[in-house]
Amino acid sequence: MSTQKCLAMVLAAATLVGATACDFLLTGPPADADLFDAPIPGLTPEEERVFARGDAGFGQRFSPREGLGPIFNAASCASCHSGDGRGRPENVLTRISIGTDPAISLGGPQIQDKATPGARPESVPGGVDVSRRLPPPVFGVGFIEAIPVADILANADPSDGDGDGISGRPNWVTPADFVPLDEPGGGAGPQLGRFSRKGQVSSLLQQISEAYHQDMGITTDFLPVENVNPQFGSLTQSADPAPDPEVPAATVRAVVDYVRMLAAPAPGEDTPTRQRGDEVFRQIGCEDCHVREFRTGASSVAALANQRVVLYSDLLLHDMGDALADNRPDGSATGREWKTPPLWGLRIARDFLNGELFLLHDGRATAVAEAIELHGGEAAASRDAFVGLNDADREALLDFVRSR
């Protein structure tokens, strides 16, 4: 065999092996079910374009020249919501109040711990109630928005009429003046609060406008007046050189539409262990508050209408006991009450948090078992039942919850 022919055969074999190896080693993008920032299926081409514009707005990192500050907590929406999921302890926001007064005279309900040059960050004043709150996930909120009010209220039992120890109730809140009457969550008089840790916000438009204003110090057509540290006095021009409003209504609405059209991640595959965990979950009463599913009603986004929503939350307020009390009211929510957080997305949460997990309203729990054991108040009986489980049932329940 000639040297040239031998060399040709070696190169051909190497090429074949290389191609086979690449086919085996290279991976494609993760499935939408394994992401927090995937769009819901079935969007129209125009909705997909709006989704893309909103995605860009959500990810925009502001500088002072673009409007950041003068006081703020983060430079972008995305920096607080890892992959559009839950935040990390370094993103925890500090909210304050004096009784039922949201401390307006002290600079408002939230402490902005960062500032641009020429401004001074806020610090927690004395004599206030303090609540540390982890940024919640933003995926799936369009489904939550589209659940009919009557379906949510069907699970409310504020006086515990059935005597089961569970007395979930809605948080009725007054929308901000800038929320149009025809906006979901808008309207004259009290509206059902669906968003944030205590369900103190009824409208995605209000939630996102206030996030621009409070979290990033960005003025918009909806909130055009700068948020400043009242204890610092006048600002230098360098602290806030951008003209107000710094972001137009069209951008805010694009971001609203983006989060409205974010899909919820799918749960993990069913296994015999998880089936047993599901049974235990129901037997010890977890599903009394973490209601498995709802169905959406009408929506301006056709793909959101009449959809099954498996979120594991009743979206109602519950007294969670002394260990989780923050003593800070929000709307009609007391300092001991929290809205039941959905469990969806737990399956992949660690993938967007560097392998870690932070649970409860302030992120103090780093494992599902730890979070359950901190439950009290209306959840005390379920907590005690969990603590008393045998090892197999305990692990089955935890595996089930972690797979949601």
Question: Mind listing the pLDDT tens digit for each residue in 111-153?
Answer: 999 999 999 999 999 989 899 999 999 999 999 999 999 999 9
Find out whether 389 and 382 touch, Cβ atoms under 8 Å: no
Instruction: State the pLDDT confidence band at 3, using cuts at 50, 70 and 90.
Output: very low
Q: Does residue 25 surpass a pLDDT of 80? A: no
C-alpha R_g of the chain: 24
Q: CA distances (Å), 11 to each of 3, 14, 23, 361, in order? A: 12, 5, 18, 60
Q: Tens digit of pLDDT for each residue in 251-292? A: 999 999 999 999 999 999 999 999 999 999 999 999 999 999
Instruction: State the pLDDT confidence band at 164, using cuts at 50, 70 and 90.
Output: very high
Average pLDDT over residues 49-60: 97
The DSSP symbol for 34 reads: G
- Tell me which amino acid residue 17 is: V
Q: Does residue 81 surpass a pLDDT of 50? A: yes
Q: How many angstroms from the chain centroid is the CA of residue 44?
A: 25
Note the pLDDT of residue 30: 58
Note the pLDDT of residue 87: 86
Q: Does residue 23 surpass a pLDDT of 50? A: no
- Whole-number percent of the chain with pLDDT over 90: 78
Q: Does residue 331 surpass a pLDDT of 80? A: yes
Q: Does residue 328 surpass a pLDDT of 70? A: yes
Note the pLDDT of residue 11: 36
Task: Give just the sign of the alpha carbon dihedral 8, 13, 16, 18.
Answer: negative
pTM of the model: 0.89
Average pLDDT over residues 298-304: 96
Q: Tens digit of pLDDT for each residue in 190-227? A: 999 999 999 999 999 999 999 999 999 999 999 999 99
Tell me what percent of the chain is helix, strand and coil, each rounded to the nearest 5.
35, 10, 55
Find out whether 310 and 292 touch, Cβ atoms under 8 Å: yes
How many residues does this entry show for the chain?
Answer: 404
- Whole-number percent of the chain with pLDDT over 70: 91
Q: Does residue 82 surpass a pLDDT of 90? A: no
Average pLDDT over residues 239-260: 96
Q: Tens digit of pLDDT for each residue in 348-403? A: 999 988 899 999 999 999 999 999 999 999 999 999 999 999 999 999 999 999 99
Q: Tens digit of pLDDT for each residue in 91-111? A: 999 999 887 777 777 788 999
Cβ neighbours of residue 21 under 8 Å, at least 6 residues apart?
none
Note the pLDDT of residue 31: 64
Note the pLDDT of residue 22: 36
The DSSP symbol for 97 reads: E
Q: Where are the beta strands (DSSP E) in 233-341?
A: 293-295, 308-310, 317-319, 337-339
